[in-house]
């Protein structure tokens, strides 16, 4: 019988997070070269926009993947679904590294690229909710933010790893990189999937899930999620998630291209500055989770959103300066607010739901929010920059979203210490739900 130690539990969640986000990061950092190979033409800006549109396709597939794998996770278990999603993502990414280009097969090339992105989106849609549910259900009740925050380190470090990998590959020269070396990071994504499956194949289901599934086995998780309490819980997620989705995907999927094409920074300097900011974000996410265990989710969410609302403009102003120092400091300013806010939002979102339909309810609301606000943020930022005619345009978008979420956060229930078996929305006192004990 499978048995999980705390470190095995955390490792199983972390490697999946690493693999899933590694695959997305490879695409985001490879936008300039993918535009050349899959959308060739005289209009370079149109090619970049087309590639960002393909980037967004995966986010449109995420709600479907979240729903499909979320229902499976509530029905057959978190662990089985985690094994499925890590394989699907790895296969989609490795296939990208083998695709023929537009010059070789014409229009079929971008169509196949879209198909691979759909596979990635379906997998990530299920991975996020399945792994998140698994970790918080396995964690001690007063350390859920800390445990989930630890796994989130490995959700963002892949961006720094990919940046370092691309720096190493580009030392071979632009000709070799453009010809075939750009494929290497995609192919490596398949190997990460093998490691992820090995770590996950022998872990145990959380006892919280096993007990809840025995009591509610006959209930349909989708039908339960669409009841009043489930709909309220999903609305809570949508009220807090956009600030992190917009800011994170701007930092992870847009800033490198922005620094190179708009700020005219050398590609190597752009990669280095972005990697530093991502490391800062990775370190601060567990700190945000830890602080939310101590002071409550709402307080930490509020501080993070306020920081981003105030820091967005100076951050973009510095990033647009065309200097390595400006790019680094500007991105770090964004990373600080994102780390604080994200550490609390990632743990609060699944806590809104009861165990019986946690993965399903979280998947629907979280993936819809990310699809609408996260996947489109690089495209919107690029469009605003070109339409308004100022490199500072993305700052206005980030600040507006952060301010809106700052207000919305004041109307959600506090979830620190909430009983996982019961939805926070079923509590008669929504601002102070029934808790197991005062966390810390």
Q: How many residues does the chain have?
A: 440
User: What is the pTM (predicted TM-score) of this model?
Assistant: 0.81
* Token pair of 330 as six digits: 């500007």
The predicted model gives 93-106 an average pLDDT of: 88
pLDDT in tens, 8-30: 788 888 887 787 778 777 887 78
Q: pLDDT at position 17, please?
A: 77
What is the predicted pLDDT for the residue at 423? 64
Look at residue 410 and give its three-state secondary structure.
coil
Beta strands of 178-257 (E only): which ranges? none
- Where residue 417 falls (left for φ over 0; alpha for ψ -120 to 50; beta otherwise) is left
Confidence (pLDDT) at 83: 86
- Residues forming beta bridges with residue 418, ordered by sequence position: 435
- What is the average pLDDT score of the chain? 85
pLDDT of residue 43: 66
Q: According to the model, what pLDDT value does residue 2 have?
A: 53
Tens digit of pLDDT for each residue in 174-186? 888 888 898 998 8
Q: What pLDDT, on the 0 to 100 scale, is given for residue 107? A: 83
Residue 244 CA: distances (Å) to CA of 59, 313, 381? 15, 16, 15
How do residues 419-432 score in pLDDT, each as one tens digit? 888 766 655 444 44
Structure confidence by residue, pLDDT tens digits, 337-363: 999 999 999 999 999 999 989 999 999
Q: Which CATH homologous superfamily contains domain 6-426?
A: MFS general substrate transporter like domains (1.20.1250.20)
Burial bucket for residue 178 (CB in 10 Å: 0-12, 13-18, 19+): middle
Q: What per-residue confidence (pLDDT) applies to 433?
A: 44
Q: Hey, what's the torsion of the CAs at 2, 121, 161, 12, to 10 degrees? A: -10
pLDDT at residue 435 is higher than 50? no
Decide: 284 and 336 in contact? Cβ < 8 Å: yes
Residue 407 has pLDDT above 90, yes or no: yes
Confidence (pLDDT) at 438 = 37
Q: Residue 115 burial (CB < 10 Å; 0-12/13-18/19+)?
A: middle
Q: Which residue intervals of 266-296 are DSSP H helices?
A: 267-295
pLDDT for the residue 3: 56
pLDDT of residue 427: 53
What is the pLDDT, as a whole number, of residue 199?
79
Question: Burial letters for 248-271: b for 16+ Cβ neighbours within 10 Å, e otherwise?
Answer: bbbbbbbbbbbbbbbbebebebbb
* Nearest alpha-carbon partner for 240 in 380, 93, 343: 343
pLDDT at 403: 96
What pLDDT does 87 receive? 85
For residues 162 and 22, is the Cβ–Cβ distance under 8 A?
yes
Residue 129 and residue 12: Cα distance in Å, rounded? Answer: 14
Give domain limits for the chain: 6-426
pLDDT of residue 173: 82
Q: Does position 405 have pLDDT exceeding 50, yes or no?
A: yes
pLDDT digits (tens, 9 = 90+) for 249-258: 888 778 888 8
Is 166's pLDDT higher than 90?
Answer: no
Distance set, CA 141 to CA 198, 213, 312, 348, 415 (Å): 28, 19, 34, 13, 11
pLDDT level of residue 92 (50, 70, 90 thresholds): confident
Angle between helices 207-215 and 108-138 (to 10 degrees): 90
Spatial separation of the C-alpha atoms in residues 221 and 262, rounded to whole Å: 47
Percent residues over pLDDT 90 in the chain: 33
Contacts of 431-437 spanning 24+ positions with Cβ under 8 A? 436/141, 436/142, 437/141, 437/142
Report pLDDT for 299. 96
In contact, 164 and 62? CB cutoff 8 Å: no
Say which range, 323-337, 353-367, 379-393, 397-411, has the weakest mean pLDDT.
379-393
Separation CA 348–CA 418 (nearest Å):
10
Is the distance from CB of 221 to CB of 72 less than 8 angstroms?
no
In the prediction, which pLDDT does 426 show? Answer: 58
435 DSSP β-pair partners? 418
Give the pLDDT confidence of 187-234 residue by residue, as tens digits: 988 888 788 878 787 788 888 888 887 776 547 888 888 888 889 999
User: Of 118-127, 240-249, 394-403, where does mean pLDDT reach its minimum?
Assistant: 118-127
Half-sphere exposure of 299 (CA within 13 A, CB side): 9
CA distance 378 to 246: 9
The model's pLDDT over 277-290, given as tens digits with 9 standing for 90+, comes to: 988 998 999 999 99
């Amino acid at each position: 019988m499978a048995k999980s130690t705390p470190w095995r539990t955390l490792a199983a969640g972390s490697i999946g997070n690493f693999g899933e986000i590694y695959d997305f990061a490879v695409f985001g950092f490879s936008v300039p070269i993918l535009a050349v190979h899959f959308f060739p033409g005289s209009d370079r800006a149109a090619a970049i926009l087309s590639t960002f549109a393909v980037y967004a396709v995966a986010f449109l597939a995420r709600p479907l993947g979240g729903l499909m794998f979320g229902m499976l996770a509530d029905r057959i278990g978190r662990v089985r679904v985690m094994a499925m999603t890590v394989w699907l993502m790895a296969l989609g990414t490795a296939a990208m590294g083998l695709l023929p280009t537009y010059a070789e097969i014409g229009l079929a090339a971008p169509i196949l690229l879209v198909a691979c992105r759909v596979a990635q989106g379906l997998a990530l849609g299920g991975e996020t909710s399945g792994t998140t549910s698994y970790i918080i259900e396995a964690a001690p009740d007063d350390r859920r933010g800390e445990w989930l925050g630890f796994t989130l380190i490995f959700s963002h470090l892949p961006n720094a790893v990919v940046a370092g990998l691309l720096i190493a590959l580009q030392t071979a020269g632009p000709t070799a990189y453009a010809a075939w070396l750009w494929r290497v990071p995609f192919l490596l994504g398949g190997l990460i999937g093998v490691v992820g499956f090995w770590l996950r194949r022998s872990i145990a289901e959380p006892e919280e899930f096993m007990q809840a599934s025995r009591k509610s086995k006959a209930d349909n998780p989708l039908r339960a999620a669409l009841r009043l309490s489930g709909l309220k819980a999903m609305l809570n997620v949508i009220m807090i998630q956009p600030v992190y989705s917009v800011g994170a995907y701007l930092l992870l999927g847009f800033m490198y291209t922005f620094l190179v094409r708009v700020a005219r920074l050398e590609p190597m300097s752009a990669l280095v500055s972005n990697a530093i900011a991502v490391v800062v974000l990775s370190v601060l996410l567990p700190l945000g989770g830890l602080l939310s265990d101590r002071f409550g989710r709402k307080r930490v969410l509020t501080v993070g959103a306020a920081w981003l609302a105030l820091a967005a403009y100076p951050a973009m102003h510095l990033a647009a300066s065309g200097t390595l120092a400006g790019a680094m400091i500007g991105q770090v300013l964004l990373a600080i607010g994102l780390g604080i806010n994200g550490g609390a939002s990632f743990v609060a979102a699944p806590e809104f739901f009861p165990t019986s339909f946690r993965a399903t309810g979280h998947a629907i609301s979280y993936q819809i929010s990310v699809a609408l606000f996260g996947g489109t943020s690089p495209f919107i930022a690029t469009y605003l920059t070109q339409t308004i005619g100022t490199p500072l345009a993305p700052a206005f978008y980030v600040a507006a979203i952060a301010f809106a979420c700052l207000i919305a956060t004041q109307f959600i229930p506090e979830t620190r210490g909430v009983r996982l078996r019961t939805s926070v929305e079923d509590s008669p006192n929504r601002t102070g739900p029934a808790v197991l004990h005062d966390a810390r």
